[in-house]
Amino acid sequence: MNRTKADTAESTQSAERLAAVDSILATEEPLIPSSGFLASVMERIHEQARLPLPIPFPWKRALPGVLFFIGALVWGAVELVRHGLPAGSGITLTQPHLSATLERPLQQAAWVALALCVSLLSWLLSRRLAGRSGLL
């Protein structure tokens, strides 16, 4: 019972706020641009139209270089697989042995490195989010 009274009171208050905002917006004067606004905008448009077209990128000249680069990457990958697979089959991985005096400082250094990485990622994320809003 109390909940319905509170809900109706909230809806009444929100309706009153909306009515107040509507009355404020209804009394505002319409926005009218200044006297020279249209002329200055049209002048800028005509200036931009008079500028010469930008020089197009020479794709016909760049295409052989791009194709050569892609071909070199593919050839390198094929050679790596061709020579790397036979050579890699003879490799055995063993875990390095660390003394007890070295193990604890390395573990602490790993935690510090993890904390620094998390801090860096947090900072980069906040910069990216703030950059979108125009604060930076």
Residue 97, Cβ neighbours under 10 Å: how many? Answer: 6
- Give the model's pLDDT for residue 64: 94
User: Measured in whole angstroms, how far is the alpha carbon of residue 121 from the centre of its chain?
Assistant: 13
- Give the model's pLDDT for residue 14: 86
What is the spatial distance between Cα 104 and Cα 53, in angstroms, rounded to a whole number? 65
DSSP characters over 33-97: --TTHHHHHHHHHHHHHHSPPPPPP-HHHHHHHHHHHHHHHHHHHHHHHHHHHHHHTT----PPP
Total-model pTM: 0.34
> How many Cα atoms within 13 Å fall on the side-chain side of residue 18?
6
SS3 assignment, position 135: coil
Q: Counting Cβ atoms within 10 Å, is residue 20 exposed (0-12), middle (13-18) or buried (19+)?
A: exposed
pLDDT of the chain, 136 residues: tens digit per residue: 456 666 677 778 888 898 888 888 888 777 788 888 989 999 999 999 999 988 888 889 999 999 999 999 999 999 998 888 777 777 777 877 778 788 888 889 999 999 999 999 998 888 888 876 555 4
**Region for 32 from its dihedrals, namely left if φ exceeds 0, alpha if ψ lies in -120 to 50, beta otherwise:** beta
- Give the model's pLDDT for residue 3: 60
